[in-house]
Amino acid sequence: MKKFITLIDLLALAMPAIVAQEPEEEAPQEKQKQNPGEVQTLFGNNTGSGGYGAFTIGYTSINSRDALLMGARGEWVIGHGFGLGLGGYGFVNDPTYNVIEDLNYSLAGGYGGIIIEPIIFGWYPVHLSFPILIGGGGVALASYYSDPYDSYNYYDGYVADATGFFVAEFTAEVEFNLVRFFRLAVFGSYRYTSDILLQDTPENALRGWSAGMTFKFGSF
**How many CB atoms are closer than 10 A to CB 79?**
11
Of 146, 169, 171, 168, which is closest to residue 156 (Cα–Cα)?
146
180 secondary structure, DSSP code: T
Q: Which long-range contacts (CB under 8 A, 24 or more apart) does 38-42 make?
A: 38/123, 39/80, 39/122, 39/123, 39/177, 39/180, 39/220, 40/123, 40/124, 40/125, 40/177, 41/125, 41/177, 41/178, 41/179, 41/180, 42/125, 42/176, 42/177, 42/178, 42/179
**Domains of the chain, earliest start first:** 2-218 (2.40.160.20)
Q: What is the pLDDT of residues 125-164, one digit of tens each?
A: 999 999 999 999 999 998 887 665 555 566 567 788 999 9
> Per-residue pLDDT for 184 more than 70?
yes
Flag the least confident range among 20-24, 40-44, 153-157. 20-24
For the ranges 39-48, 105-114, 116-125, the lowest mean pLDDT is seen at: 39-48
pLDDT at residue 43 above 70? no
**What are phi and psi for residue 159, nearest 5 degrees?**
-90, 115
CA distance 209 to 197: 21
Q: How far apart are CA 113 and CA 167, in angstroms?
A: 9
**In this structure, are strands 208-218 and 39-41 parallel, antiparallel, or unpaired?**
unpaired
Whether 24 has a pLDDT exceeding 60, the answer reads no
Least confident span in 14-23, 91-100, 113-122, 205-214: 14-23
Asked if 178 contacts 150 with a C-beta cutoff of 8 angstroms, the reply is no
Instruction: State the first-to-last Cα distance of the chain, in angstroms, to the nearest integer.
Output: 68
pLDDT above 90 as % of the chain = 60
Beta strands at 96-98 and 126-129: parallel, antiparallel or unpaired: unpaired
**Looking at residue 175, what is its pLDDT?**
97
pLDDT of residue 30: 44
- pLDDT single digits (tens) 53-105: 999 999 999 999 999 999 999 999 998 899 999 999 999 999 887 767 767 88
Task: Please give the pLDDT value at position 127.
Answer: 96
- Confidence (pLDDT) at 13: 45
Measured CA to CA, the distance from residue 102 to residue 146 in angstroms comes to 9
- pLDDT > 60? residue 47: no
